[in-house]
Amino acid sequence: MNSPNEKQKIVCVLYDDPVDGYPPKYARDDIPMLTAYPDGQSMPSPSAINFSPGDLLGCVSGELGLRKFLEDRGHTFVVTSDKDGRNSVFEKEIVDADIVISQPFWPAYITTERIAKSPNLKLAITAGIGSDHVDLQAAIDNNITVCEVTFCNSISVSEHAVMMILALVRDYIPQYNWVIKGGWNIADAVARSYDVEGMNVGVLAAGRIGLAVLRRMKPFDVKLHYTDRHRLPAEVEKELEVTFHKDAESLVRACDIVSIHCPLHPETEHLFDKKLISKMKRGSYIVNTARGKICDRGAVAKALESGHLAGYAGDVWFPQPPPQDHPWRSMPNHAMTPHTSGTSLSAQARYAAGVREILECWFDAKPIRDEYLIVQGGKLAGTGAHSYSEGDATGGSDEATRFKTGN
């Protein structure tokens, strides 16, 4: 644990500012202030915040609202979006960093190689949920604490997943494009449009996000399904009238729509490969707001091209950002977004506050909430012990350098 008076270097990797400049004002004057998460977990509770909830905090100029707090305590704070490749700012700054903060949407891949040349690194914080951009095995081996702000954007992601389910099945994006093109092509617009009502909808993993998706889909009068290594309580299954499946294969065989919500770790990497996708119904849909590497990129693209899949909506890619020639950019019948589901302005207020809470605990040598912990003391801990497995899922992340070069 850290000494309270020790001055530290914090490197924070955030996505770029808006191309049109930082917003002079926002679409709304405020955001709803929540008091607790749906399961009763309390909201982030730092001693104070130096930002206005609803501001753009996740980009470089936003700085997660941390600069004043950190510099007032005498720490060094470096913020950059330049994260990929040997000549990146992150590559140069991590070597003497004590703490790294990164977001899943623009992940600073903390690989075995980067950990090996960063002897001071003791804490890696995910500003959001999902710490697979950290080599967890190397963190375990090097006694690095890994934290994430659990639940901060779970509902944000679940809303995005439901939006994607509806957009795919109703074929919303092509219909919108006919309007943009000045057309009124109703027959073209509805040629791939169906009702969700009566379909079999399944979630792979029914944790905070997956369960929220099930709850939000139930009013659509669909048949609900799920699989998870931790089965839901019997009363919840009864309430939602949801069918449990023993594994992913059983789930996908039964469903018209599969929404993926498990963490990425060695057991789930490339789970949706050619073999598993082939067991899905012809004309079924996949929604993936979890991690891109859970799906095999080539298998998804080929299944869409052949028509075996009717649609794929993903908010997550691998690596991030993906190269310009990544097949998911150009495959047919997709509804991809650039990992925005968990970084709404509402979510940013929560994960920025959560990061500050973690830092306050770290600097003051106080325990970090168990639900925020992924790795601590050389082993999986807290939420990490419940949701992850040991190992590394960062392999191939160096491909992200090709986005910067335009390849």
In three-state form (DSSP H/G/I as H, E/B as E, the rest C), the secondary structure along the chain is: CCCCCCCCEEEEECECCCCCCCCCCCCCCCCCCCCECCCCCECCCCCCCCCCCCCCCCECCCHHHCHHHHHHCCCEEEEECCCCCCCCHHHHHHHHCCEEEEECCECCCECHHHHHCCCCCCEEEECCCCCCCECHHHHHHCCCEEEECCCCCHHHHHHHHHHHHHHHHCCHHHHHHHHHCCCCCHHHHHCCCCCCCCCEEEEECCCHHHHHHHHHHHHHCCEEEEECCCCCCHHHHHHHCEEECCCHHHHHHHCCEEEECCCCCCCCCCCECHHHHHCCCCCEEEEECCCHHHECHHHHHHHHHHCCEEEEEECCCCCCCCCCCCHHHCCCCECCCCCCCCCCHHHHHHHHHHHHHHHHHHHCCCCCCHHHEEEECCEECHHHHHHCCCCCCCCCHHHHHHHHHCC
CB contact at 8 A, 208 and 324? no
Do β-strands 145-148 and 373-376 pair in parallel, antiparallel, or remain unpaired? Answer: antiparallel
d(CA 74, CA 58) in angstroms, rounded, equals 23
Q: How far is CA 19 from CA 22, 64, 337, 340, in A?
A: 8, 19, 17, 16
CA distance 323 to 297: 13
Catalytic residues: 153, 291, 320, 339
- Separation between Cα atoms, residue 176 and residue 88, nearest integer Å: 39
